């Protein structure tokens, strides 16, 4: 999964011209199956139901293109969902927050109510690990 996320981030960075370009991608995986962005409410419901009471992995891929060179990295965070009753799943799906979200949820919004625990970098689950970015580009630490 780390290779998939890093490669996707690298492609995004390569698609943009500029002196410094950052590409990022998030992959949500449950038992080796990648849960992309749900196509519709039915698939969003399927994803949330599959994640309920289980631990999945959120892998963030980063790639930075600078000075004609590209560097990549990936970080993984384990997220465990609570046991969800069908009414909770339906409320979340009805909210529409699942749209355009890997795995069909946004932990920084209503999706936080679905989660029991996060092991690792919370910001990775939100979408961009600042810690990994600072490792990838150490001179950014001076600007922080």
pLDDT tens per residue, range 13-52: 999 999 899 999 999 999 999 999 999 999 999 999 999 9
Quote the pTM value: 0.91
**What are the φ/ψ torsions at residue 91 (nearest 5 degrees)?**
-60, -45
Catalytic residue among 19, 25, 40, 67: 25
pLDDT in tens, 65-112: 988 899 999 999 999 999 999 999 999 999 999 999 999 999 999 999
Phi first, then psi, for residue 45 (nearest 5°) are: -60, -45
Determine how many CB atoms are found less than 10 A away from the CB of residue 119. Answer: 12
pLDDT of residue 138: 87
User: Residue 74 in contact with residue 61, Cβ under 8 Å?
Assistant: yes
Q: In the prediction, which pLDDT does 68 show?
A: 83
d(CA 14, CA 69): 10
Q: Judge whether 67 counts as a catalytic residue.
A: no
Report pLDDT for 143: 64
Query: What domains can you pick out in the chain, each with its CATH number?
Result: 2-137 (3.90.950.10)
């Amino acid at each position: 999964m780390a290779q998939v996320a890093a490669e996707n981030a690298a492609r995004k960075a390569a698609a943009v011209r500029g002196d410094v370009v950052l590409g990022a991608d998030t992959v949500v995986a449950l038992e080796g199956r990648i849960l992309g962005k749900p196509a519709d409410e039915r698939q969003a419901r399927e994803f949330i139901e599959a994640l309920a009471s289980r631990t999945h992995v959120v892998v963030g891929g980063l790639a930075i293109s600078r000075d004609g060179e590209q560097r990549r990295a990936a970080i993984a965070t384990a997220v465990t969902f609570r046991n969800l009753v069908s009414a909770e799943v339906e409320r979340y799906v009805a909210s529409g927050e699942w749209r355009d979200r890997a795995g069909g949820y946004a932990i920084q919004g209503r999706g936080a109510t679905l989660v029991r625990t996060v092991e690792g970098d919370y910001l990775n689950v939100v979408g961009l690990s600042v810690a990994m970015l600072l490792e990838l580009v150490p001179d950014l630490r001076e600007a922080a």
